[in-house]
Amino acid sequence: MAEFTSFTDLRAACLDLPAGDTSAADAVARREAELTKPPRSLGRLEDSVAWLARWQGRTPPRLARVEILVFAGNHGVTAQGVSAFPAEVTAQMVANFAAGGAAINQLARIAGASLRVIPILLEQPTADFTAAPAMDEAAFVAAVAAGYDAVAPDADLVCLGEMGIGNTTAAAAVAAALFGGGGARWAGRGTGVDDAGLARKQAVIDTALARHAALLADPLSLAAALGGRELAAILGATLAARRRGIPVLLDGFVSTAAAAPLKKVRADALDHALAGHVSAEAGHRMLLDELGLAPLLDLDMRLGEASGAAIAVLVLRAALACHTGMATFAEAKVAGKSR
């Protein structure tokens, strides 16, 4: 269970992180070099298995229990007309997840992953952050704890996604606060706003950055002021996974922005996280670059719901199957390199 009830506690937890198991990763690399293929010819598949081993602390790594967590939240800033869809769609989509009708339901099944959808106080949207901090300290820390506690200690991998009408605006505000550049750099079309909606998003972000300028030096304070409950939960889940030896697949722009403050608290805090994909949302590629994350997939998706991360699970399963199932040169009596 989460052991923090304030920014101070949470910051201490964010600084207290285990290192990865480099010997497990090295053992993976040694085996990869013996398998019947030219050295390094499986590229990112090989890297992915080593990364899983490093952060699970186990060789070979395991993907028996893959969990997809989708956090949902509502956003007061939707009053500013920043989304193409009405705010009630958040709850309607949560019902759609429960009924099995959303994209992530299909993708979780294909990926062999369990799906858990965790709505966080949908009936209490965050404050409109152009007028007040989205969340106060207590509300933020509680949402972080909800995410933290959602991570099963025995999971082998967690995929972190979200649903929340208005949350690309929150994510863009967080990214702008962390990395500079304002609304013009970070606002994108989200679920599909028109040009006027995009201009409103940019203005809303710039207004919020100005209003909360005094808070922006602290990554956790800015996440509370500009983020959302589902973003806070993703931050908490990312932190919990690291502390429990579980690798994380991040999803799109919102998921990545949600976890990003951790890296400002401690530079290696996202080393156990892989970007499942780069989305078509405008700021995502820039944000990944700022974080030094190289996405596994680039499929022009922009849905959220952990959909990109779920597809990345398939790549990891392929990678692990090669690692564990292939014969070595010696076993197969295949000759090695001659020059």
Give the residue numbers annotated as catalytic, written as ranges.
305
Say whether residue 297 binds a copy of itself (CB under 8 A).
Answer: yes
CB neighbourhood size of 336 (10 A): 10
Which of residues 3, 16, 44, 210 is near a copy of itself by CB under 8 A?
44
- Using a 10 angstrom Cβ sphere, with 0-12 exposed, 13-18 middle and 19 or more buried, the burial of residue 153 is exposed
Nearer to a copy of itself, 52 or 177 (CB): 52
Amino acid at site 74: N
Site string for a copy of itself, 123-162 (x = CB under 8 A): ----------------------------------------
| Site map (CB under 8 A) of a copy of itself, residues 1-40, x = contact | ----------------------------------xxxxx-
Q: Report if residue 85 touches a copy of itself, rule: CB under 8 A.
A: yes
Q: What DSSP character marks residue 272?
A: T
For a copy of itself (CB under 8 A), the number of binding residues is 68
Q: Which of 318, 263, 255, 260 is nearest to 281 (CA)?
A: 255
Kindly tell me which residue out of 2, 28, 93, 248 binds a copy of itself, with binding defined by CB under 8 A: 93
Binding of a copy of itself at residue 303 (CB under 8 A)? yes
Secondary structure (DSSP) of 142-189: HHHHHHHHHS-TT-SEEEEEEE-TTHHHHHHHHHHHHH--HHHHH---
| CB-CB contact of 244 with 234 (8 Å) | no
Whether the bond between 86 and the residue before it is cis, its omega within 30 degrees of 0, is: no
Q: Does 331 bind a copy of itself (CB under 8 A)?
A: yes
Contacting residue, 3, 16, 88, 289, with a copy of itself by CB under 8 A: 88
Q: With CA atoms as reference, report the closest residue to 250 among 225, 215, 279, 228.
A: 279
Which residues would be at the binding site for a copy of itself (CB under 8 A)?
Answer: 35-39, 41-45, 81, 83-86, 88-89, 92-93, 95-96, 99-103, 105-107, 109-111, 190-194, 197, 280, 296-303, 307, 310-311, 314-315, 317-318, 321-322, 325-327, 331-339
